[in-house]
Amino acid sequence: MMEVFGMSKFMKKLILLALFITATFLTANAQYTKLCDFTDAANGSYPGGSLFSDGTFLYGMTREGGNGMGVIFKIKPDGTGYSKLLDFAGAANGSYPEGGALISDGTFLYGMTIGGGTNGMGVIFKIKPDGTSYSKLLDFAGLANGRYPEGSLISDGTFLYGMTSEGGTNGLGVIFKIMPDGTGYSKLLDFAGAANGRLPNGSLISDGIFLYGMTLYGGTNDIGVIFKIKPDGTGYFKILDFAGAANGKEPYGSLISDGTFLYGMTSWGGANDMGVIFKIMPDGTGYSKILDFAGTANGSYPEGSLISDGTFLYGMTAYGGINDMGVIFKIKSDGTGYSRLLNFAGAANGRQPWGSLISDGTFLYGMTFYGGTYDVGTVFKYQYCAADIAENNAGSDFNVYPNPGSGKFLISSNRNISSIEIYNLMGKKIFQSTIKNQQSEIDLSNQTKGIYFIKIYDGQTVLAKKIVIQ
């Protein structure tokens, strides 16, 4: 270290401390890259949802900007190639997409808006990834089919499923399904308050038998529930009534599953009334509070969902951290190993993320609602080391061909493969095989375009590789 002359020992210590703090800050943020500053009319403003990746572009929506009613955009993971696919315009094509993410069937992107459409209550739409062929699939109308959807759609390959935060028979929201061509709308459930929840804010997930979700309010304590229901609208079951300090309250995000437990977050409740991370079995047993958010130390008031790499859960909070502008964090599924990866700081790296992260195995990608150069939001990536699904193989040990591919892949290895597993970006296992040979063919052509992770086991070692369906 270069010596500082002509100063008191106290001043020297201050300078050295400042240098240390600066170096620590730069090191901690070297993994962060701001991909885009939103600027309002030109490229959108206030993104409140999450991104979607097809392996080449990231796709997202902003709540405002463009014509003042929000935009659909795409951008490459290195921050280049930004393109505005659509300006929302109100009655014609919807307005103000609120907190949701786009999904894809490999040809179209599907999404919802909270406003606009014929009745000003939101729409379901589809559009091609190049911005052409926009089609409005449904105008929400209130009593008949719900209004103001705030989450995302999901697909089982035949139907699209979703929820509205209001509307339906009781005005408290509905669960619905609809065909991708806009036909076959069916209302699966009218939320009713204490009995089954009200005002869902997040999205559904599916295990192939049940749809699972949460409501912001309703249930016994009117602070939200976890539920499941069959895709035909039968078999509704209230898995949990949120109760406040004991187990959280008012969840804004969605659940994820590891095949055994459901994991999620609440925006309030817990020991500090700043939200919790929890897990619970799909039958309602085994509830465990993994973390109480506490503000500066570990974040507060999360408004998105978790993702998993098989070992760690990753997420964001809207507030808390050093600057009270939110954090990125990771934590193990048993509640140990919490680490605050990033403190949001405003202009430099965004603030108040109101959505969820996605991952490609090397980077976490997300958006902030505020912050950035113009304080109307950012797109960012954060380089991290995925604990379980990061690539960890030598090329000679494990190869996949073609990669990228259309869905059919040939796996070859110089090891004796005992089993193969495929995971999507949310950490959900979508394929498993116990074929025992050194060369195997897998067919993922029924999956949507995007990034996946393949893991092979040889009885002693686990090897992993990223694959892309395009």
Residues 344, 406 within the same domain: no
Report strand pairing: 205-206 vs 186-190.
unpaired
Residue 446, judged by CB atoms within 10 A of its CB (0-12, 13-18, 19+), counts as: exposed
**What integer pLDDT is reported at residue 436 of this predicted model?**
58
Residues 310, 406 within the same domain: no
Q: What proportion of the chain, given as a percentage, has pLDDT over 90?
A: 73
Residues 169, 308 within the same domain: yes
C-alpha to C-alpha distance for 188 and 176, rounded to whole angstroms? 5
* Residue 21 lies inside a defined structural domain of this protein: no
Residues 138, 165 within the same domain: yes
> Among residues 348, 383, 418, which one ends one of the domains?
383
Q: How far is CA 352 from CA 363, 368, 375, in A?
A: 20, 6, 10
The mean pLDDT value of the chain amounts to 90
* Residue 158 lies inside a defined structural domain of this protein: yes
Which of 85-89, 97-101, 235-239, 264-268 has the least mean pLDDT? Answer: 97-101
Give strand pairing partners of 17: none
* Residue 61 lies inside a defined structural domain of this protein: yes
* Residue 12 lies inside a defined structural domain of this protein: no
* Residue 23 lies inside a defined structural domain of this protein: no
Torsion sign, CA atoms 281, 285, 286, 289: positive
Q: What proportion of the chain, given as a percentage, has pLDDT over 70?
A: 89
* Residue 140 lies inside a defined structural domain of this protein: yes
Residues 76, 222 within the same domain: yes
Lookup result for tokens 């050093």:
322
Residue 102 DSSP code: -
Residues 149, 257 within the same domain: yes
Please write the tens of the pLDDT for every residue from 394-407.
Answer: 555 678 888 888 88
User: 3-state DSSP: the chain helix, strand, coil percent, rounded to 5?
Assistant: 5, 40, 55
Q: Which two tokens stand for residue 191?
A: 């939320």
CATH of the domain at 464: 2.60.40.3080
* Residue 389 lies inside a defined structural domain of this protein: no
Residues 361, 402 within the same domain: no
Q: Which two tokens stand for residue 428?
A: 């959900």
> Among residues 319, 353, 383, which one ends one of the domains?
383
Name the residue among 328, 311, 317 with its Cα closest to residue 293: 317
Question: How much is the pTM?
Answer: 0.84
C-alpha to C-alpha distance for 253 and 192, rounded to whole angstroms? 20
Asked whether the predicted pLDDT for residue 27 surpasses 50, the reply is no
Residues 336, 419 within the same domain: no
| C-beta neighbour count of 194 within 10 angstroms | 14
Residues 295, 410 within the same domain: no
Please write the tens of the pLDDT for every residue from 275-313.
Answer: 999 999 999 999 999 999 999 999 999 999 999 988 899
Residues 347, 423 within the same domain: no
Domain range for 83 is 34-383
Name the residue among 82, 83, 87 with its Cα closest to residue 64: 87
- Total domains, the chain: 2
Q: Which two tokens stand for residue 36?
A: 């885009």
Residues 72, 105 within the same domain: yes
* Residue 241 lies inside a defined structural domain of this protein: yes
CATH of the domain at 124: 2.120.10.60
C-alpha to C-alpha distance for 138 and 110, rounded to whole angstroms? 12
Residues 54, 145 within the same domain: yes
Which of 29-43, 204-218, 223-237, 242-256 has the least mean pLDDT? Answer: 29-43
C-alpha to C-alpha distance for 169 and 78, rounded to whole angstroms? 47
Give strand pairing partners of 422: 431, 454
**What integer pLDDT is reported at residue 392 of this predicted model?**
63
| C-beta neighbour count of 354 within 10 angstroms | 26
C-alpha to C-alpha distance for 158 and 141, rounded to whole angstroms? 23
